[in-house]
């Protein structure tokens, strides 16, 4: 949350954008209807904050540096996202607005935007207020001032205090997206000056394929040891919400391709499959032919209901006489692993998840044709997301490590299912 409290003054960002567009302080000041000294001072403050010059001055005008060009690209995206969100809130469906909207910085302040983001996450309200050196009451007043500026309700009273209504949640999400662009712009500046300050945040789904992800991280960390990589695990719905709200940069794992969420992009990296998993020396490993009846006789560790893995287990025994005992429901890999090692229990996992333990001989995987087709796995990002150089290099490492990944030919031992 603290990352989104560092939004620069939006008036200063607008002045920088105008100088880049008109190649001069005087032209920018006329366009924005502010004094030249105000523009000059604003740019000086912005460059001091960024730690570098984004413009160079000549007698013929003020021009953008190469670093400045990349930063101003982020500034353009910042205003495009922010103005688009505000337009959506103010627009009457099916009709055109009855007046030309002023520039966003003329009726919205940086403090108001920060206050709305904080109000959308009440669990961190006190912490965020302290980080901003403000009281909770002041934050709420700023958020209410934003409501008055827009003329649209953004907050509503609830048992836990003021919370965002759907319009407020939407605008807060878009403010986070816009602020992330500025954060990426600052990060790219630090890359240019060998003073890296960037964090790549990856959400990982259960049974995502930690071997492939870890291999990609190792390759990336070796080439770019100064970049922080943070891994956060969670369910698909929770991580998708984090992705939409820019709390994470990407999701690694099973590609869901949901029709109800058009604002994401998915990149297939490899295909995975399910397998039966047990301890080394398990009685199943001594059988030349493994039947569904043989699998029914063992206690099973099963995942939560309504998960894809659970549905595949249920489908495996749909036509058998009797059902396996599935009294142990576990979603933790470490707990499942320990239970398997200390008993004759069996379970189903994705081949990629158990790959390292299978290579080390800690667990035994048994390919099983009755467990359904292949699973597409890869990376999910926001639609229209513009990655930084480091993000793209991280993705390249994942692509390299998964380029030849295949689980369709794994054999240990051969399995023939019979009803």
Q: Where are the alpha helices (DSSP H) in 235-346?
A: 236-244, 292-296, 308-316, 333-341
In a domain, 409, yes or no: no
- Supply the CATH number for residue 234's domain: 3.40.190.10
pLDDT interval class at 416 (50, 70, 90): very low
> Is the domain of 94 the same as that of 22?
yes
> Is the domain of 227 the same as that of 356?
no
User: Span 327-354, mean pLDDT?
Assistant: 91
Q: Which residue did the predictor score with more confidence, 197 or 245?
A: 245
Rounded Cα–Cα distance for residues 412 and 274 (Å): 13
Distances (CA, A) of 284 to 296, 366, 410: 11, 9, 17
Q: Examine residue 110 and say whether the peptide bond preceding it is cis (omega within 30 degrees of 0).
A: no
Rounded Cα–Cα distance for residues 111 and 26 (Å): 28
In a domain, 416, yes or no: no
User: Span 72-88, mean pLDDT?
Assistant: 93
In a domain, 18, yes or no: yes
pLDDT given for residue 372 in this prediction = 67
In a domain, 121, yes or no: yes
In a domain, 324, yes or no: yes
> Is the domain of 241 the same as that of 387?
yes
pLDDT interval class at 43 (50, 70, 90): very high
Which stretch of 125-139, 224-238, 288-302, 395-409 has the lowest confidence by average pLDDT? 125-139
User: How many other CB atoms sit within 10 Å of the CB of residue 33?
Assistant: 7
In a domain, 84, yes or no: yes
In a domain, 180, yes or no: no
Rounded Cα–Cα distance for residues 38 and 35 (Å): 5
User: Span 57-71, mean pLDDT?
Assistant: 88
Residue 21 has pLDDT above 50, yes or no: yes
253 burial via Cβ count (<10 Å: 0-12, 13-18, 19+): buried
pLDDT interval class at 4 (50, 70, 90): very low
> Is the domain of 16 the same as that of 156?
yes
> Is the domain of 330 the same as that of 387?
no
Structural domains of the chain, count: 3
> Is the domain of 345 the same as that of 334?
yes
For residue 381 the two structure tokens come to 């990002």
Rounded Cα–Cα distance for residues 70 and 61 (Å): 20
> Is the domain of 219 the same as that of 135?
no
pLDDT interval class at 316 (50, 70, 90): confident
Residue 49 has pLDDT above 70, yes or no: yes
DSSP 3-state of 365: strand
pLDDT given for residue 161 in this prediction = 66
- Supply the CATH number for residue 107's domain: 1.10.10.10
pLDDT interval class at 383 (50, 70, 90): very high
What is the pTM for the complete model shown? 0.84
DSSP 3-state of 358: helix
> Is the domain of 127 the same as that of 236?
no
pLDDT interval class at 159 (50, 70, 90): low
Mean pLDDT of all residues belonging to the chain: 85
Which stretch of 26-35, 72-81, 389-398, 402-411 has the lowest confidence by average pLDDT? 402-411
Owning domain of residue 265: 194-272+376-402
Distances (CA, A) of 61 to 34, 36, 90, 369: 18, 13, 38, 70
Helix, strand, coil percentages, rounded to 5, for the chain = 50, 15, 35
> Is the domain of 295 the same as that of 167?
no
pLDDT given for residue 2 in this prediction = 42
For residue 46 the two structure tokens come to 């912005």
| Nearest Cα residue to 393 out of 222, 240, 267, 270 | 222
Which stretch of 46-55, 260-269, 323-332, 353-362 has the lowest confidence by average pLDDT? 323-332
72 burial via Cβ count (<10 Å: 0-12, 13-18, 19+): buried
Which stretch of 4-8, 49-53, 64-68 has the lowest confidence by average pLDDT? 4-8
pLDDT given for residue 185 in this prediction = 92
pLDDT interval class at 23 (50, 70, 90): confident
> Is the domain of 143 the same as that of 23?
yes
> Is the domain of 45 the same as that of 129?
yes
> Is the domain of 52 the same as that of 135?
yes
Q: Are the C-beta atoms of residues 21 and 63 closer than 8 Å to each other?
A: no
Residue 11 has pLDDT above 60, yes or no: yes
pLDDT given for residue 414 in this prediction = 41
Residue 232 has pLDDT above 80, yes or no: yes
pLDDT given for residue 18 in this prediction = 94
User: Span 119-131, mean pLDDT?
Assistant: 73
Q: Are the C-beta atoms of residues 179 and 79 closer than 8 Å to each other?
A: no
In a domain, 388, yes or no: yes
Residue 97 has pLDDT above 60, yes or no: no
Residue 190 has pLDDT above 70, yes or no: yes
Residue 173 DSSP code: H
Dihedral sign from CA coordinates of 127, 129, 133, 136:
negative
């Amino acid at each position: 949350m603290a990352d989104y409290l560092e939004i620069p003054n939006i008036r200063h960002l607008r002045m920088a954008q105008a100088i880049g567009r008109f190649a001069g302080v005087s032209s920018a000041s006329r366009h924005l209807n502010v004094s030249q000294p105000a523009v000059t001072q604003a740019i000086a403050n912005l460059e001091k904050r960024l730690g570098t010059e984004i413009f160079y001055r000549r007698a013929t005008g003020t021009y953008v540096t190469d670093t400045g060009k990349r930063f101003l690209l982020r500034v353009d995206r910042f205003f495009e996202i922010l103005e688009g969100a505000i337009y959506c809130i103010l627009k009457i469906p099916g009709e055109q607005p009855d007046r030309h909207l002023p520039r966003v910085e003329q009726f919205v302040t940086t403090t108001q935007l920060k206050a709305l983001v904080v109000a959308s996450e009440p669990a961190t309200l006190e912490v965020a207020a302290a980080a901003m050196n403000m009281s909770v009451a002041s934050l709420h007043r700023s958020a209410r001032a934003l409501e008055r500026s827009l003329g649209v309700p953004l907050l509503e009273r609830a048992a836990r205090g003021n919370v965002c209504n759907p319009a407020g949640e939407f605008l807060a999400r878009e403010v986070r997206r816009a602020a992330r662009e500025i954060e990426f712009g600052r990060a790219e500046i630090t890359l240019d000056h060998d003073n890296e300050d960037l964090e790549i945040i990856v959400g990982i789904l259960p049974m995502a394929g930690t071997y492939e992800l870890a291999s990609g991280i190792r390759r990336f960390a070796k080439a770019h040891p100064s970049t922080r990589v943070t891994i956060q695990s969670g369910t698909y719905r929770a991580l998708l919400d984090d992705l939409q709200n820019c709390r994470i940069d990407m999701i690694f794992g099973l590609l869901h391709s949901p029709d109800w969420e058009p604002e994401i992009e998915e990149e297939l990296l490899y295909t995975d499959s399910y397998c039966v998993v047990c301890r080394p020396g398990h009685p199943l490993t001594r059988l030349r032919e493994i039947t569904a009846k043989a699998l029914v006789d063992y206690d099973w560790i099963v995942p939560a209901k309504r998960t894809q893995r659970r549905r595949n287990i249920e489908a495996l025994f749909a036509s058998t006489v009797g059902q396996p005992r599935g009294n142990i429901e576990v979603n933790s890999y470490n707990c499942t692993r320990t239970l398997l090692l200390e008993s004759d229990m069996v379970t189903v996992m994705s081949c990629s998840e158990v790959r390292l333990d299978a290579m080390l001989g800690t667990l035994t995987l048994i390919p099983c044709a009755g467990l359904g087709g292949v699973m597409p796995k890869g990376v999910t990002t926001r639609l229209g997301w513009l990655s930084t150089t480091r993000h793209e290099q991280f993705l390249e490492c994942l692509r390299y490590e998964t380029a030849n990944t295949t689980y369709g030919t794994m054999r240990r031992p051969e399995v023939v299912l019979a009803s």
